[in-house]
Amino acid sequence: MNAFDVDPETNTYLISARSMCTIFKVDGNTGDIIWQLGGPNSNFSLGEGVDFCWQHDTRMHKKYLHHETKRSKEIISLLDNSAHENLAGGPDLQTRNYSAGKVVELDTKTHKATLIASFRAPGDLSNGNAFINWGYNGAISEHKPDGTTIFFSKLDSGRLGPGSENYRAFKFEWHAVPYEEPALVAFKESNGTSCFVSWNGDTETKVWRFFEQTASGQRIPLGHATRGGFETSFHTKRNAALVVAEGFNSRGDKLVSSLAIKAVKYKARLVYP
């Protein structure tokens, strides 16, 4: 068994028996096998392109009653790893010369399995795209619904990365607020003070507010700048001695305050190769 998924509403499990090239659906209350897909005793006849072997990451997606046929149907996805790498000195394990992500519809009345989509990728995203991890070799890719590849990358895995193996991949929005303080520099100029601030790893700051800090610790507002990328710049006509930057999110909550930085005279330097 190398993968399983659960439907909490029905307490049923989708279990992948990789070495058997078979997927089972099991009743979580009794342990009885509800159906078997693939293998020598499959409960479903496999439509064109459904056949698979050495599969990974089997997932249940939805169960519905077809409005016309009134037949109960289920949708699952899997990585068909038919292009399994042959082991040195061992038998030929490949059942096909390529692997593919597949989405399969199961008609539990007629016991017919139909291929809905095949990507040369499983893991559907909210925008309709498909996201795939290609197993042992560490490749990941994203595809449009029509199969067009829009992203491909390889991570150290298997023989490429001793001691590690990239086995599955998931795509989420990344939200992060670093533990370290923002990096701030301020330069004295003939027409005021220029400030540059960055906060490595931050995804939440939308606005930087800048202040001059007095000797007594009072902060005098200088202005603000909308975050425009990794580093945000700001200029004030005021000749500020000590400068502080504060980061705020989209709700106006303060996330961080930098240390008070002394403004220094800018010195241009030529850098030779």
Domain positions in the chain are 3-160, 183-265
pLDDT score, position 87? 54
265 contacts: CB under 8 Å, gap ≥ 6: 187, 188
Q: Which CATH number fits domain 183-265: 3.20.20.70, 3.60.20.10, 1.20.1560.10, 2.60.40.10?
A: 2.60.40.10
Alpha-carbon distances, residue 60 vs 7, 66, 140 (angstroms): 8, 17, 21
Which residue in this structure is represented by tokens 């980061």? 247
pLDDT score, position 121? 40
Counting as low any pLDDT under 50, the low residues of the chain are 88, 90, 121-123
Dihedral (Cα; 253, 257, 263, 267), 10-degree rounding? -90
Closest CA to 56 of 135, 130, 139, 149: 135
